[in-house]
Amino acid sequence: MSYLWLLPLLLLLSFTLTAALRKYALSRSIIDIPNARSSHSAPTPRGGGVAIVISFFLIFPILSIEGIVPLADLMAIGGSGIFIAIIGFMDDHGHIAARWRLLGHGVSAAWALFWINGLPPLSFFGVNIDFGWFGTICAAFYLVWMLNLYNFMDGIDGIASVEAVSSCLCMCILYWWSGHEYLIILPACLIMSVAGFLLWNFPPAKIFMGDAGSGFLGIALGVLSLQAAWISTQLFWAWIILFGIFIVDATFTLVRRVIRKDKIYEAHRSHGYQFAARLYGKHYPVTVAVGLINIFWLFPVAISVVLFNFDGLTGVLLAYLPLILLAVIFNSGAVEASDGQAEK
């Protein structure tokens, strides 16, 4: 039985739910008001990412009952994703102290790793290494960093949605070409759930994702990459390659802020993509550039790793070098001057 009919249904459901959430946010004044740390200039309703979460998880009963996806995989991404979405939703509607958010992030990561049995052995320069319990701890930090960096990178219209759609689309193609078609269903469903929201969020955005959506996408993508790692180390490296723009910009920015002894928990506009958006005077070219870089640079490198047995870690280093250069060019992590650009 074909389940392709579910994909356009997810797209329609996500689009409709986003419209309803936008109406709800406007009626309840759940509005993101621009301030000195904002990258937008007009008041915009927020919390639309809940539509992604709801539409994505509504498909889980069918996937479970029909045995399309192993129950452990559904439990890993379902439990952790829902918990992170709830934390984000509560933070969107009020405020949760950073320490409690971080505790929740750790619990969610532990839940996911319990169901997927931690971190599998990975290949580094042709050598397979099983890190055991230390690897599981590293995987937990990886998931927590993924959900937080996704929140950090959700700062201009459409960028987080485009990153999720383009990276998942590339991985679906790689799964197909490499003979792992059974892995396609979850990222394909995520694509449709995000795409319905993206139709409202593409520049100029009519609604923002909010922490519920960005945190959920971060941990969901992280879990998908670890699930793939149990099938093939090369598939894991391909995911890491496709996450390159977000990983490089967020990490580069964080390191510079830590070195400068900034309060890293405070909101800021010093990511490279934010400087780029202010330089070009709009969000559209930066958001589109993210999708184009993923498809025309990172995807070919990922192809070489998965299909032509190019060393995975070498592929990551090769893929990231131009991204690091872009981070330098666009001053990721620099101090913002009064005109919104980086200080010289």
Strand (E) or helix (H) holding 297: none
User: Which phi and psi angles does 4 have, rounded to 5°?
Assistant: -65, -25
Short-list 110, 312, 142, CA closest to 222 = 142
Is 151 annotated as belonging to a binding site? yes
Ordered DSSP codes for 13-43: HHHHHHHHHHHHHHHTT-EE---TT-S-SS-
List all residues 6 or more positions away from 73 whose beta carbon is below 8 Å from its beta carbon: 115, 116, 186, 227
Tokens of 51: 């539509």
Q: How far apart are CA 216 and CA 242, in angstroms?
A: 18
- What 3-state DSSP class applies to 331? coil
Q: How far apart are CA 46 and CA 206, in angstroms?
A: 9
Torsion of CA 70, 16, 192, 52, to 10 degrees: -60
User: Which phi and psi angles does 330 have, rounded to 5°?
Assistant: -95, 15
Determine whether 229 is exposed, middle or buried from the number of CB atoms within 10 Å of its CB (0-12, 13-18, 19+). Answer: buried
Task: Please answer whether residues 50 and 21 qualify as being in contact, where contact means their C-beta atoms are separated by less than 8 angstroms.
Answer: yes
Is 154 annotated as belonging to a binding site? no
**What are the distances in angstroms from CA 13 to CA 19, 215, 326?**
10, 21, 37
Q: Could you list the residues known to form a binding site, using ranges.
A: 151, 211
Q: Which residues are annotated as a binding site for Mg(2+)?
A: 151, 211
